[in-house]
Amino acid sequence: MHEAEDLYQEMILDHYRRPRNRRAMETADAFAEGYNPLCGDRVKVYVQVEDGIVKDVSFQGAGCAISTASASLMTESIRGKSLEQARALFNRFHGLITGEPAENGAPELGKLEVFSGVGKYPARVKCATLVWHTVNAALENRKETVTTE
C-alpha cells in the first residue's frame, strides 16, 4: 500500500478510537441529527454560534470507523470558522470525496485530506459526508433528521 494511504488510514483509526469533541453540549444554539441507513450510522451534531463564528461544535452517535472519524475531524476543522468558511469547507470536502477538482479560492482541507481515498469506495462516501450534511443542517437551524438517502 502507498505510504500516504497508510498514514491516512492510521489517522482515521486514531480518530475512530479516540474521537475528539464527542459529547453533548448543553449550551448549544442548535443541533441536527443525521442517519445513514445504508450503513446504520447515526450522528447528532451540536453547534454554538456567536457573531457568525462557530464557537463550539460537538457530536454524539454511533457509526462505522469512517463516519466517526469524519465527525471527529469535522469538529476540529470548523471550530473557529465563520459560517461562510464552514460552508466552503463542506463544499470542498464534498468535492474531494466525489472526485471533483478544487476550484480557485477553495479552502485548504488540511487533515481532511485523509478522506481522499474514500471516493474509491462508493458505499463509504455517505459515511464520510453524513456528519457534514448534518452540521450544515444544524448551522441552518433545520430541525428535520438528515438522511443520506
Q: Quick one: 36 or 75, whose CB is closer to Zn ion? A: 36
* CA gap 29, 64 in Å, rounded: 27
Residue placing its CB nearer to Zn ion in the complex, 67 or 72: 67
* Minimum CB–partner distance for residue 68 and Zn ion (Å): 8
| Rounded CA separation 84/75 (Å) | 16
> Residue 54 or residue 118: which is nearer to Zn ion going by CB?
118
Rounded to a whole number of angstroms, the minimum distance from the CB of residue 19 to Zn ion is 14
Closest approach of Zn ion to the CB of residue 147, in Å: 13
Instruction: For residues 38 and 46, give the distance between their C-alpha atoms in angstroms, rounded to a whole number.
Output: 23
Residues that bind Zn ion (CB under 5 A): 39, 41, 64, 67, 127
Q: What angle do CA 123, 124, 126 make, to 5 degrees?
A: 90
